[in-house]
Amino acid sequence: MLIEKSIRAKKHSYSPYSGFSVGAALLTTKNKIYTGANVENASYSLCICAERVAYTKAVSEGDKKFKAIAIAANGKEFVFPCGACRQFMYEFGDDIDVIVVRSAKQFRIVKLFELLPGAFDKTFLKIK
């Protein structure tokens, strides 16, 4: 179901500049699913990736614990989250499944910590 929701979310992408559509479906530990699609802007630095859209929706609704995220993108290869998304997701836990999707039957599953070794986190900020 998570994979299918990420594929459906991709249809809501606003990507008139790159034509690169991405959809994400984020599963909470309460089994709620939040979806997101990438949103581009003529000022490229203001673009936001599908993964961060889904996370932002979840956090703004009070959910901060996650089990998995499925990410569907255009292309023939598996498309993994960008570095900014990896860091953003890591803030909420490193042990979630990241499912990269080419189709409903073609996907790969990796743990987030595998995608961001040596990640920067709150332990570096000496916050108690």
Q: Phi and psi of 124, rounded to 5°?
A: -75, -15
3-state secondary structure (DSSP) of residue 109: strand
How far from 8 is each of 1, 94, 97, 117, 128, CA to CA, in Å? Answer: 11, 26, 19, 30, 41
Name the active-site residue from 4, 51, 77, 91: 51
Task: Tokens for 35, please give them.
Answer: 């979806």
Whether 4 is catalytic: no
What residues are labeled active site? 51
